[in-house]
Structure 1
Amino acid sequence: MKIEESGEIVRLRRGSVEWIIFNRPHALNAMSPAMEETLTHIFQELAHDASVKALVLTGSTGKRPSFMAGADFGTLEDAKTTAEFLELEAHSETLIRSLEALTFPTIAAIAGPCVGGGALIAAACDVRLISRSARYGFPIARTVGNCLSALNYQRLVDLFGTAVTKEMVFSARLLDAPALMASGAFRELVDEDALEAAAERVAEHLVQLAPLTLWATKTILRRLRDVKLASVDDEDVLLHCYHSADFREGVAAFQQKRSPLWKGL
C-alpha cells in the first residue's frame, strides 16, 4: 500500500473497518519502540470503540513491499540486564495480547517480509491474506540466536502445528507464498496489486456476520490455549538465551552484516 502520510503508524477508517498501516518503508516497516507503544495504545483504544467492526493491518510499500521485517535491532542491542530483557518481552506481549483481546475480527494483509515481531502480529490476527511476494518466518537461529516465549511458540503451534513450527525455526528460512498457503494458516493468495482490495472484501464480509459468534469463538479458543500454558515457566529459558555470548554475537553480527560465530555459550 502506497502511503503519502508521515508517521510510523497511519490509521484510516473505511466505513466500520479500521485500517492500520505500518509506515517505515525505508526500514521495511521494522518495529521501533515508538511503533510498539503506539500500536498497543491504538489496540487498547479500539477495544472501547463500538463503531469499529473489523481491523485490517498491513504495511506501506517503499522500494519493495513489506508487512513488517521484525524488530528494530537497536532495542535488543541496548538491553543489558535481566529486568531490561524481561521488559522487552513484556512490552511485546502486551501489544499482542491487546490485539488478541479485540472482540471484532482482525485481518493481516501481508506483502513482502513478515518476520519476527511482524510474524507474531500476523499470527495473532484472525485472518491472514498474502500476496505473491509474502515471506514469513523466524530466522532467529541464523541471525541473533535468541528464542521465543512459551506463549509465542504456542501461538505458532496452534496456527501451524508442531512440525511446521519446528521446521520454520530449524530451517531459519522464510516460507514463501506457496508454502504458506499449503500450511492452511492463510486464507487467500492474491496478486500484488489486489491485496488491498482483497482485504477490504474479506473485512466487509466479516462485518456482516454475527459479532457475538465471532467474539465467543475468539475468546474461548484463546482461553483454551491459555489453560494449556498455565503451568509453563519459560523465564529461565528466555534469560539463558538473552544473557548468552551467542546472543550478543548474533546482534553484533546482524548490525555488522556478517555471519555470526556461534559457540553455544
Structure 2
Amino acid sequence: MYNGKAMRLTALEAGLVELTLDLQDSSVNKLDSLTLGELAEVVRLLERHGHEIEGLLIASAKPAFVVGADITEFTAAFARSESEVVEWIRQGQLLFGALEALPFPTVAAVNGLALGGGFELALAADFRVLAADARIGLPEVTLGLCPGWGGTVRLSRLIGAEAALDWMLAGKPQAAARALELGAVDRVV
C-alpha cells in the first residue's frame, strides 16, 4: 500500500492494515521532517480508503516505538519567523488530529520508548497497548519545550488534568504498569 523511507503500510487480512515505523539508516524512529511528511501521505491514503479498512495497527520495527521529535531540526525550525513556527506546529496538530479522526479503530502497539512526539503519536490512536517494559512520557519540558502536537489535551482526557500536569511538568518517562493504572494505556502485554 505504501513503502517509504520511514514507514510502510501493509494490508493484512480482513480489512486490517499495519503501519510499521522503520526509519532507514537510523537505529531509532524519530519524528523528523521526512517521517512527518510520510505520515501525512499515509494518513491521506488511509482517509481515501477508509471505507475499505476495518482497523489500523501502528507498530515499530525498531527496539523503540518512537523516541520523539528530531531535535537536531529544531534550530532551523526555530530560526523561522513566528508565523512560520506557528504554522509548523499547526500542521503537526492537524496531522495528529487527522490520524485521530480516521473512521476505523486504530491501535498503537508500543515497544521500548514512546517519548515526546512518539507518545503524542500513540495518544492519537484510539487504543494503546504497551509492552511490559515500555516507557512513555512527554520529556520535552526538560529541554524547555512544551508538547506541541496535542498530547497535553489527549493525555488530560485520559488520566485527568492533575495527573497529566504531573507527567508534563516533571518530564519523567512513565512505566507501563503506572500508565495502565492511571488509564493512559489500554493494555500491557
Aligned residues: 182
Q: Where does 1:103-182 land on structure 2 (aligned, <5 Å)?
A: 103-142=103-142, 144-149=143-148, 151-182=150-181
Greater share of residues in helix: 1
Under a length normalisation based on structure 2, what TM-score does the superposition of the two structures give?
0.89
Alignment correspondent of 1:199: none
Using the TM superposition, give the Cα deviation of residue 6 of structure 1 relative to its aligned residue in structure 2, in angstroms.
Answer: 7.3
Q: Where does 1:250-265 land on structure 2 (aligned, <5 Å)?
A: none
Alignment correspondent of 2:69: 71
Report if the CA contact (8 A) 1:47-1:101 is conserved.
no
- Tell me, what secondary structure is at the counterpart of 1:141? helix
Alignment correspondent of 1:83: 83
Report sequence identity in percent. Answer: 24
**Bigger shift: 23-32 or 12-21?**
23-32
Using the TM superposition, give the Cα deviation of residue 133 of structure 1 relative to its aligned residue in structure 2, in angstroms.
Answer: 2.2
Tell me, which stretches of 5 or more residues in structure 1 are unaligned? 191-265
- 1:26-57 CA-to-partner distances (Å, cap 9, x unmatched) read 34201111110111121122112122110011
Q: Where does 1:24-43 land on structure 2 (aligned, <5 Å)?
A: 24=23, 26-43=26-43
Structure 1 residue ranges (4+ consecutive) displaced by more than 4 angstroms after TM superposition: none
Report if the CA contact (8 A) 2:10-2:17 is conserved.
yes
- 1:218-262 CA-to-partner distances (Å, cap 9, x unmatched) read xxxxxxxxxxxxxxxxxxxxxxxxxxxxxxxxxxxxxxxxxxxxx
Q: What is the one-letter code of the residue matched to 2:56?
A: L
State the distance in 1 between where 2:53 and 2:168 align: 36
Under a length normalisation based on structure 1, what TM-score does the superposition of the two structures give?
0.64
Q: CA RMSD in A?
A: 1.8
- Tell me, what secondary structure is at the counterpart of 2:177? helix
Report if the CA contact (8 A) 1:123-1:159 is conserved.
no
- 1:54-83 CA-to-partner distances (Å, cap 9, x unmatched) read 00111112xxx1111101112211121212
Using the TM superposition, give the Cα deviation of residue 126 of structure 1 relative to its aligned residue in structure 2, in angstroms.
Answer: 0.7
Report if the CA contact (8 A) 2:29-2:67 is conserved.
yes
State the distance in 1 between where 2:65 and 2:76 align: 25
Using the TM superposition, give the Cα deviation of residue 8 of structure 1 relative to its aligned residue in structure 2, in angstroms.
Answer: 1.0
Tell me, which stretches of 5 or more residues in structure 2 are unaligned? none
